[in-house]
């Protein structure tokens, strides 16, 4: 029974990691190419806050992936 609970926890972590990765990708896509032109017109404050939010998501993603790795070691 404990193995089943671990599998569910790992699936939840994997789903969470996928969600975070998708959110981060969507956020960063607006900073490059044609879309990036509009982003670069934003004030430095907004750009910094945006990148801070991206960093928070990336950090959370690393934590979730580390938890997944720890359960498989």
| Spatial separation of the C-alpha atoms in residues 67 and 54, rounded to whole Å | 20
In this predicted structure, the answer to whether residue 69 has a pLDDT above a threshold of 60 is yes
pLDDT bucket at 7, cuts 50 / 70 / 90: confident
Report yes or no on whether pTM surpasses 0.85: no
pLDDT bucket at 2, cuts 50 / 70 / 90: low
Contact partners, residue 61, CB within 8 Å, separation at least 6: 17, 20, 21, 24
| Spatial separation of the C-alpha atoms in residues 4 and 21, rounded to whole Å | 25
Domain boundaries, the chain: 2-72
| Spatial separation of the C-alpha atoms in residues 62 and 57, rounded to whole Å | 9
- Output 4 or 52, whichever has higher pLDDT: 52
């Amino acid at each position: 029974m404990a193995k089943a609970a671990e599998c569910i926890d790992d699936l939840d972590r994997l789903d969470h990691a996928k969600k975070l990765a998708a959110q981060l990708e969507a956020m960063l896509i607006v900073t490059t190419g044609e879309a990036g032109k509009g982003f670069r017109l934003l004030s430095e404050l907004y750009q910094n806050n945006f990148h801070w939010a991206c960093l928070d998501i990336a950090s959370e993603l690393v934590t979730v992936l580390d938890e997944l790795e720890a359960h498989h070691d």
